[in-house]
Amino acid sequence: MTTSSIDSVSANNQPLAKKLATGLKALDIDLSAERHQKLLLYLDLLLRYARPLGLTSLDDPLMALERHILDSLTPLPWLPDEGRLLDVGSGAGLPGIPLKIARDTLEVMLIEARRRRASFMTYALGVLDLKGIKVLRCHLGQDCPLKEETYEVVISRALSDLDRFISLAWPYVAPDGWLVAMKGPEIRPELASLSPALREKLFIKNLRLPFSGAKRNLIFIRK
Ligand SMILES: C[S@@+](CC[C@H](N)C(=O)[O-])C[C@H]1O[C@@H](n2cnc3c(N)ncnc32)[C@H](O)[C@@H]1O
């Protein structure tokens, strides 16, 4: 896909482009026009290809913009400017692809167990012309060839309960790095099962999505 086709995507979606700008402003995220265009192009790919493949159920562009693109970007203000980020169970690329578009200084690894989802991500990365981001099709905890690698940020959205995510991901969090779990409105039951030692390393940010007002919780645990 060329730059002109990227332009045409945003040019054909002025209401969506405005909504993206409004939503980012509400989240206090300032990005260049080129990044706005790439986010819109990725949204276009999600709606055009990921939806028919059953990788997302949302077909309303405004709803998908909020629930996929803006939601994925909510952790951005608390992420480091540089370093390695591992997204576990990325599905169609969420939150890893929007985060990479927004902060291209991060080196990103997207792990996804299912072939069709991993293939979609590989296709999307090519269309978006993103560098410093890879897709690994494997099942973390079973067959991922990550060896001793560690990451400054290990993140997931809608992967599993917090306990399971911690047990899968903790070995891959670098010393002083962060495990980040993107959660919905109710997190008390999951927090209750955390060990006292982990609770001391916890930082929780609650927020609302800009248009629907849907509640979200970002759980950060420092290693
Ligand atoms: C509910 S989907 C969420 C996808 C994406 N993170 C999102 O927010 O739209 C969970 C994804 O995690 C993948 N998954 C579950 N356990 C995994 C594991 N241990 N390693 C890699 N992928 C996993 C599933 O195949 C599925 O695509």
CATH class of 3-222: alpha beta
- Ligand 1 centroid–CA 153 distance in Å is 17
Residue 1: which pLDDT band, with cuts at 50, 70 and 90?
A: very low
The CA–CA distances, whole Å, from 28 to 2, 41, 74, 181, 207 equal 30, 21, 9, 20, 12
Give the pair of three-digit tokens for residue 158: 């809608």
CA dihedral over 129, 31, 10, 120, signed as positive or negative: positive
| Mean pLDDT of the residues in the chain | 93
| Chain CA centroid to CA 71, Å | 8
- Intra-chain end-to-end CA distance of the chain, in Å: 40
Residue 93: how many CB atoms within 10 A of its CB?
32
**Which residue owns the Cα nearest ligand 1 atom 23?**
89
Q: What is the structure's pLDDT at 4?
A: 45
Query: Cβ < 6 Å from ligand 1: which residues?
Result: 88-91, 94, 111-114, 117, 139-141, 157-159, 168
Q: 22, 148 in Cβ contact below 8 A?
A: no
Q: Rounded to whole angstroms, what are the CA distances from 149 to 28, 109, 158, 164? A: 32, 11, 23, 20
Q: What is the mean pLDDT of residues 7-28?
A: 83
What are the pLDDT digits (tens) for 79-129? 999 999 999 999 999 999 999 999 999 999 999 999 999 999 999 999 999
Note every long-range contact of 23-31, with CB atoms under 8 Å and residues 24 or more positions apart, other chains counting: 23/65, 23/66, 23/69, 23/70, 23/210, 23/211, 24/70, 24/73, 26/210, 27/70, 27/73, 27/74, 27/76, 27/77, 27/207, 27/210, 28/77, 29/73, 29/76, 29/77, 29/102, 31/102
Whether 109 contacts 153, CB under 8 Å: no
Per-residue pLDDT tens for 133-162? Answer: 999 999 999 999 988 899 999 999 999 899
Cite the annotated binding site by residue number. Answer: 89, 94, 157
With 50 as the cut, is the pLDDT of residue 3 above it? Answer: no
Pick the residue whose CA is nearest to atom 4 on ligand 1.
91
pLDDT of residue 9: 56
> Does pLDDT of 59 surpass 90?
no
Q: Give the lowest-confidence range in 15-19, 37-41, 48-52, 216-220.
A: 48-52
CB atoms within 10 A of CB 92: 24
CA of 120 to the centre of ligand 1 (A): 14
Helices 33-45 and 3-11: crossing angle, nearest 10°? 80
